[in-house]
Amino acid sequence: MPVVETSNLQKSFGDHRVLDGVDISVAEGTVFALLGPNGAGKTTVVNILSTLVRADGGSASVAGHDVAREPVAVRAAISVTGQFSAVDALLTGRENLTMMARLSRVPRHEIGAVVEKALARFDLVDAADRRSGSYSGGMARRLDIAISMLAMPRVLFLDEPTTGLDPRSRQGVWEFVRELVGEGVTVFLTTQYLEEADRLADRIALLDGGRIVADDAPAALKRLVGSDIVEATFADGRVACYPTDGSLDDIKRTILGLEDATHVTVRNPSLDDVFLTLTGKSPKQVTGKVAA
Amino acid sequence: MSAYALTDSSVMIGRSLRHTTRNFDSLFIGIFLPVMLLLLMTTVFGGAVSGTAGDYVTYVVPGVLLLCAGYGASMTAMSVTTDMKEGIVDRFRTMNVLPSAVLTGHVVASVARNLVSVGIVIATAYAIGFRAAAGPLGWLAAIGLIVLLIFAMSWASAAFGLVAKTPEGASSFGFFLLFLPYLSSAFVPIDTLPGWLQPIATAQPFTPLNESIRGLLLGNPIGNSGWAAVAWCLGILVVSGFTASALWRRTRR
């Protein structure tokens, strides 16, 4: 039985239809990645599943409980690390953890030990007594995830957990996610980084225009776009990708057709290409929009 | 969930109290502003209003106490609006935390902060010549009334803070509470006001509050103003409390 399941999920804000029939199914103990560009509605899905926002239509359940009818049971089974840092900037790391441990119903006499363990595990011992407002992005995110893990949830929602982090901190978050899955936690991840979904997820769903346009294992999604891809860079800096059928003839023909290209590479299809194929939007445009 | 109501409330009160002591603005406004107001009222305006600054101290101290209590309580609106913008409040909502606990934390911290301000104003007043004629009971009643006012106005501010979109917008509630006491008997006798303003001044809550506290501190009879003041505060408290709770449940992204 899936631990997270939605059926025909609908949500509009005013005239803007954000979700237009989203169906998701996540198996227990796996990592599920919801992938999509900015504004695709990823956070809205997480907000509905974590009882923050009510859906306009359709149904959603987490850990066997309907999110609209049994929000208390759902909240008891989940932890959420939102897109924006959800730590108290005026409190120290230790105070944040102690507060959240009490609110997470950790038995009083265990709180001290639980907090120390969390500080050690997420490499925050040296910063424990500094205000979290002074933390770097990576440290704040570690504290954020440490808080989410205090009460050992069945489902952990990570909404864009590495957005704005440097590459090293990103690696760190990825390692934590793998460890948590090893402990049996189901991770529901949203990301706009294709690489992140590829590295972590057992299953990836692409959200575009309020619908799931693809839902499969990373390898299967890559197969969708076919075989080798010719990527050409032009004199004006433009980059374009040309799918081939993988045969030498087709690759040759493709390259010979690119007369004004300054640089050409042949590579395996990436999730970027999946995205391009399925949504008709260039993932370069997508990343460009994010950077702007 | 109710088994954790006390835990949740006390955790949130602890959180808001820590915020207060670590927030320079709130400390400054809580301590410096009331003292400056009192000194301004007495040394600058005192001579003009009452002939000698000394007499005016006795007249004006209850009003300054109300001004500080009301304005100090209004800071709750800003702290609530600021808090609502933080990711942490959404995180609380995804946990089984007592819904009213966050607001309770803000309100109780406001009461504590403003009681310190009130204490500082009273100490300063004594330093510049104020003497109360009240016995322990009179003091107790006066302080009780001030606590009730802070409590009611903090809940009203919390409700306003949930409606306001920005902390700047939320701070406008403070101007309302800063000016309302001037249109009461706090700083000048009502019969010196223009005729059309007198009914407004008589009908608003700060007049019975001021009459009660002045009477209690100076040992004069207070008539019905004590009950009127309590009724005003309880009314504001109940309406604001329910409004704030309803707004809290509704205020979701």
A147-182 residue pLDDT tens: 988 888 999 999 998 887 888 888 888 988 898 888
Distance, C-alpha A18 to centroid of its chain: 18
Q: Which residues contact A235 (CB under 8 A, 6 or more apart)?
A: A260, A262
pLDDT of residue A283: 44
Please, are residues B30 and B73 in contact by the beta-carbon 8 Å criterion? Answer: no
Q: How much is the mean pLDDT over chain B?
A: 88
The domains of chain B are located at 3-250
Binning pLDDT at 50, 70 and 90, where does residue B53 land? low
Burial level of B153, CB count in 10 A (0-12/13-18/19+)? buried
CA distances to A162, A175, A178, A190, A203 from A172, in Å: 10, 5, 10, 17, 21
As a whole number of angstroms, the distance between CA B33 and CA B120 comes to 11
pLDDT at residue B111, rounded to an integer = 94
3-class DSSP state for residue A9? Answer: strand
pTM of the model: 0.83
* Mean pLDDT taken over chain A: 86
Average pLDDT in the B16-23 region? 90
Query: CB B18: neighbour CB atoms within 10 A?
Result: 17
Q: In this complex, is the C-beta atom of A87 within 8 Å of any C-beta atom belonging to chain B?
A: yes
**pLDDT tens across A51-90, in order?**
989 999 999 999 999 999 999 999 999 999 877 778 999 9
Percent of chain A with pLDDT strictly greater than 90: 45
Interface with chain B: mutation pick from A80, A103, A115, A158, highest number of B CBs within 10 Å: A103
Quick: pLDDT tens for B181-205: 888 888 888 888 888 988 888 888 8
Among chain B, residues having any CB pair with chain A shorter than 8 Å are 1, 4, 7-8, 11, 14-15, 18-19, 22-23, 86-88, 90-97, 252-253
pLDDT at site B251: 64
* Minimal-distance CA residue of chain A relative to B98: A103
CA A65 to chain CA centroid, Å, is: 23
Contact of A29 with A68, CB cutoff 8 Å:
no
Residues in Cβ contact with A72 at an 8 Å cutoff, skipping those fewer than 6 apart: B1, B96
Q: Which pLDDT score is estimated for A149? A: 85
Report which DSSP code applies to A183: T
Phi, psi torsion values for B57, nearest 5 degrees:
-55, -50
Chain A residues whose beta carbon lies within 8 Å of the beta carbon of residue B98:
none
Confidence of residue B253 (pLDDT cuts 50, 70, 90): very low
A51 chain-B contacts, CB cut-off 8 A: 93-94
Q: List the single residue in B with minimal CA-CA distance to A87.
A: B88
- Report the distance separating Cα A170 and Cα A172, nearest Å: 5
